[in-house]
């Protein structure tokens, strides 16, 4: 084999190995992320909807969420018209009942474009307080006191 040919062959092998490493890393990342998502979705809410938790949740909501989701949680925040996707409507009791606490927590944690992730902006406890708080938007409308939202407000199958 001519030296030039040999050189290009080893370059090709090196490129192949590099590509393989990238595939393994990406796949590994995707799999770990996926299992984290699945685990998060099934989490039970460790923060009961006490008046303190709701008050703190409200404060975080006003600071981070209200501009898109609106002061009433109906998705009509001041920024909403400029978004590519409409923010969810938390006053829709039927829709909210279908989502487990872990799912809401997951959406808040990882976001879903154009909604940003809040993993690094709001701590774990705060994110659960947000779950408790955003559930009150639908609850108030159906005239049930927020305190009636138990620590496990996941949808019942019965
Ligand atoms: C930049 C605007 C923006 C901000 C800020 C924002 N969201 Fe959202 N949010 C959205 C949009 C848009 C969606 C819908 C995403 C989709 O359907 O793909 C959404 C969806 C959600 C959902 C899923 C609900 C559903 O209807 O299925 C939850 C829960 C949620 N947001 C909670 C929050 C909380 C809590 C905060 C504050 C910590 C927050 N969001 C901040 C824009 C925003």
Tens digit of pLDDT for each residue in 3-22? 667 788 999 999 999 999 99
Residue 156: its pLDDT value, please? 44
Q: Give residue 158's pLDDT band: very low, low, confident or very high (50, 70, 90).
A: very low
Query: What is the reported pLDDT for 118?
Result: 97
What rounded mean pLDDT belongs to the chain?
A: 86
The residue segments making up the domain with residue 84 are 43-148
83: nearest Cα among 115, 119, 107: 115
Instruction: Report if residue 55 sits inside a domain.
Output: yes
Question: What is the residue with the minimal CA distance to atom 25 of ligand 1?
Answer: 88
In a domain, 31, yes or no: no
Greater pLDDT, 31 or 157: 31
CATH of the domain at 124: 1.10.760.10
**Helices 101-110 and 3-42, interaxial angle, to 10°?**
140
10 in a structural domain: no
pTM: 0.76
Per-residue three-class SS string for the chain: CCHHHHHHHHHHHHHHHHHHHHHHHHHHHHHHHHHHHHHHHHCCCCCCCCHHHHHHHHHHHHHHCHHHHCCCCCCCCCCHHHCCCCCCCCCCHHHHHHCCHHHHHHHHHHCECCECCCCCCCCHHHHHHHHHHHHHHHHHHCCCCHHHCCCCCCCCCC
pLDDT digits (tens, 9 = 90+) for 50-71: 999 999 999 999 999 999 999 9
In a domain, 25, yes or no: no
Total domains in the chain come to 1
In a domain, 74, yes or no: yes
In a domain, 24, yes or no: no
Signed CA dihedral, 69, 60, 150, 100: sign only? positive
Tell me whether residue 9 is in a domain.
Answer: no
Expressed in angstroms and rounded, the spacing between residue 17 Cα and the centre of ligand 1 is 41
Residue pointed to by tokens 């949680």: 73
Please list, residue by residue across 63-87, b when 16 or more beta carbons sit within 10 angstroms of its beta carbon and e when fewer do. Answer: ebbbebbbeebbbebeebeeeeeeb
In a domain, 154, yes or no: no
Mean pLDDT score, 137-141: 72
Return the pLDDT at 3. Answer: 67
Q: Is the CB of 119 under 6 A from ligand 1?
A: no
* pLDDT (average), residues 111-124: 94
76 lines ligand 1 (CB under 6 A): no
Residue nearest to atom 12 of ligand 1 (CA): 87
């Amino acid at each position: 084999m001519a030296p030039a040919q040999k050189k290009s062959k080893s370059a090709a092998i090196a490129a192949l190995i590099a590509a393989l490493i990238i595939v393994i890393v990406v796949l590994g990342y995707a799999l770990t992320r996926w299992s984290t998502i699945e685990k998060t979705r099934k989490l039970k809410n460790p923060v009961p909807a006490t008046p303190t938790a709701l008050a703190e949740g409200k404060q975080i909501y006003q600071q981070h969420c209200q501009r898109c989701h609106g002061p009433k949680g109906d998705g009509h925040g001041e920024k909403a018209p400029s978004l590519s996707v409409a923010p969810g409507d938390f006053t829709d009791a039927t829709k909210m009942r279908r989502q487990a606490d872990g799912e809401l927590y997951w959406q808040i944690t990882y976001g879903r474009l154009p909604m940003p992730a809040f993993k690094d902006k709001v701590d774990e406890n705060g994110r659960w307080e947000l779950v408790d708080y955003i559930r009150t938007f639908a609850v108030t409308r159906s005239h049930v006191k927020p305190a009636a939202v138990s620590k496990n407000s996941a949808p019942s199958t019965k």
